[in-house]
Amino acid sequence: MIEIKHLKTLQALRNSGSLAGAAAALHQTQSALSHQFSDLEQRLGFRLFVRKSQPLRFTPQGEILLQLANQVLPQISRALQD
């Protein structure tokens, strides 16, 4: 199951271009973030991004989830403000 934290992490990955940058932006260690993604990818059954690519590249499935994050997170934010 995808959680809000996963969607926020996908956005942080896109914004920073690296796992290390995303970890810093989210105040997590790179190791913790890597484990979080490995666990999520295992549960989903597909990779979200290409490791060891500079800059970081999302897989087609990762791009779809990133688009979902870009749509859903602002809606959640608005709902919480109302």
pTM of the model: 0.86
pLDDT of residue 3: 93
**pLDDT for residue 29:** 97
pLDDT at site 54: 81
Sign of CA dihedral 50, 75, 15, 29: negative
**What 3-state DSSP class applies to 50?**
strand
Boundaries of every domain in the chain: 4-81
d(CA 44, CA 20): 23
Per run of 10 residues, the mean pLDDT along the chain (length 82 residues) is 93 94 96 94 95 88 97 94 84
Which pLDDT belongs to residue 9?
95
pLDDT of residue 28: 96
Please tell me the class of the 4-81 domain. Answer: mainly alpha
